[in-house]
Amino acid sequence: MSKIEKVLATGKTHTTFSGADTTLRGHNGNLDIELSSPGSAQPAHVFAAIQPHPKAEQLFAGAWSACYTAAVGLVAQERNIVLPADMAVDIEVDLGQTGPAYFLQARLTLRVPGLAHDVATELAHIADSICPYSKATRGNIDVTLNVMTA
């Protein structure tokens, strides 16, 4: 796995989770999506504020973030962990170059204010192990997983 020497573009997303519904926002306001789980009474997808169009890196970060957030909720439910109401996931995906070759790299940050750091770290890693997007990128791109409890 090669390290990026020069970052060309970054896609950033901030995802919040409340029960079965997920809200995904791009850092610069060009992506705002409300997602719901299958069987939810809410609409499956609501898209708003998508002009100018988001970058591919932001769309990838958004899809990954929604999936990872759901994995965190699933693991928390299985382990009887009560997630804080302001839990969020921030994902940044960089497109970059090393020599003439192009690569991706990512940073995931799980924000769970008030949760014990060791519990939050275990939750983050277990969710990462079951999230299909995390599985797809594992060993393919450089990924950093961060946990913030304050």
Question: Mean of the pLDDT values across residues 23-46?
Answer: 51
Unique residue bearing structure tokens 């898209």: 47
pLDDT of 46 above 90: no
Report DSSP state, residue 131.
Answer: -
First vs last C-alpha separation in the chain: 32
Q: What is the CA radius of gyration of the chain?
A: 15
Q: Which one-letter amino acid corresponds to residue 116? A: A
Residue 114 pLDDT: 96
pLDDT of 68 above 80: yes
pLDDT tens string 101-139: 999 999 999 999 999 999 999 999 999 999 999 999 999
At residue 2 the predicted structure's pLDDT band, cuts being 50, 70 and 90, is: confident
Contact 36, 87 (CB under 8 A): no
Residue 137 pLDDT: 95
Q: Write down the mean pLDDT value for the chain.
A: 83
